[in-house]
Structure 1
Amino acid sequence: MTASTTDEPRDPTTLELTTIELAKESMKFSAGHFTIFSADRRERLHGHNFAVSVSLTGEPDDNGMMGDYGEFKRIVLDLCRDLDEWVLLPGRSPHLILREEGPYLFAEFDGHTIPFLRSDVQVLPVRNVTVEELARHLCSRLVDEGQVLQVAPIHGLTVKVSSGPGQLGSASWQRGT
């Protein structure tokens, strides 16, 4: 096999995209939650070991790389660490009222009050704590906080969150949409 010594110039009208997928065992978080099904039905409080994977689509550089994998992994691991070992509650649920009193956070649901220590709870800007809403939340953070977009010319990304084998939700973002 011989290497080419001539560099063919890239056609500037043709966009060359590639995708990398990150699904490291360390990209995970453990959290407590309950899913709300309706105004009067919810799961009991329980926990999961959530796994996170991210697909990034973008332009490879002249060296054939989209960016620094280490930076991509660090950003995703930081997001996972932010959610690890918390009770997660939905801040935008139409069926849950949250109220703080001193060191406590009370979740009111269907006439019942569920007490939590405020220091154990993270209220997320989601409608429900489900794999699909968690995927949307993480995807939004990756885009809105801009870290991953600064590492490389990203054109799209997909975040998947799994609560166990065979059960996952995903959310995607495309540049310009």
Structure 2
Amino acid sequence: MAPRTTTLELHKEEMKFSAGHFTIFSATHRENLHGHNFSVYVALTGEVSDDGLLSDYGPLKQAIIQRCKAWNETFFLPAHSKHLRLERDEKGNHVAHFNGEELRFLARDVTVLPVANVSLEELARVFGEELVGDGSAMARDHITGLVVKCASGPGQWASWEWKRDV
């Protein structure tokens, strides 16, 4: 019998977070500070085992919820923007320099992300890369594909996709 594949889709009430940001469009143009109520959707694709399950996705679901909790009520700053320079002041707070402006943030309010810009595209990627890690857990659980979608509101999503070489 040929292997059966399936896709499990996870989009629970707890898979959301509220966060602030601004998008940088050029060296001289950025959005004003604002926030969104983000939501996260994750789909796992893989082979169904003889016991009728893809995998025990409970730990993955908890990892998604924990990441949402960690990002909730924070302000995102991009670590790798070519137009924004970040530094820490003498108190450890964040100072963002953009086009002659100096924006100051309390350290406790900020999450600096390994991104070029704080966009849905980058949030989905960072979320997905953290879930996949080195891929060993995905291989162990027979997961061959993972899609992460982040939304900043109804009807506005970005997706990041990972596939394991089989």
Normalising by the smaller structure, the TM-score range is over 0.9
Matches of 2:164 and 2:58 in 1, distance apart? 23
Q: Report deviation, 1:95.
A: 0.6
Structure 2 counterparts to residues 90-169 of structure 1, below 5 A: 90-101=78-89, 102-144=91-133, 149=138, 152-169=141-158
Partner of 2:20: 32
- The correspondence for 1:19, drawn from 7, 31, 35, is 7
Verify the 8 A CA contact 1:135 1:169 in the aligned structure 2: yes
Verify the 8 A CA contact 1:162 1:168 in the aligned structure 2: yes
Structure 1 or 2, whichever has the larger Rg, is 1
Matches of 1:135 and 1:46 in 2, distance apart? 19
Matches of 2:165 and 2:32 in 1, distance apart? 40
Instruction: Give the direction of change, closer, same or farther, for the CA distance of 1:68–1:19 in structure 2 (3 Å limit).
Output: same
Partner of 1:7: none
Q: Does 1:76 align with 2:76?
A: no
Matches of 2:56 and 2:8 in 1, distance apart? 11
Partner of 2:40: 52
Instruction: Give the direction of change, closer, same or farther, for the CA distance of 1:147–1:164 in structure 2 (3 Å limit).
Output: farther
- Aligned-residue Cα RMSD (Å) equals 1.8
Residue by residue over 1:108-127, the C-alpha shift from the partner in whole angstroms, topping out at 9 and shown as x without a partner, is 00011001111211100011
Matches of 2:107 and 2:60 in 1, distance apart? 31
Matches of 2:25 and 2:149 in 1, distance apart? 22
Matches of 1:147 and 1:49 in 2, distance apart? 32
Residue by residue over 1:120-153, the C-alpha shift from the partner in whole angstroms, topping out at 9 and shown as x without a partner, is 1110001111111100110111111658527621
Verify the 8 A CA contact 1:32 1:86 in the aligned structure 2: yes
Q: How many residues align?
A: 165
Verify the 8 A CA contact 2:88 2:95 in the aligned structure 1: yes
User: Given residue 17 of structure 2, which amino acid in structure 1 is its aligned partner?
Assistant: F
Q: Runs of 5+ in structure 2 lacking a partner?
A: none
Matches of 1:52 and 1:74 in 2, distance apart? 13
**Normalised TM-score (structure 1):** 0.87
Matches of 1:66 and 1:170 in 2, distance apart? 22
Matches of 1:94 and 1:15 in 2, distance apart? 47
Instruction: Give the direction of change, closer, same or farther, for the CA distance of 1:28–1:150 in structure 2 (3 Å limit).
Output: farther
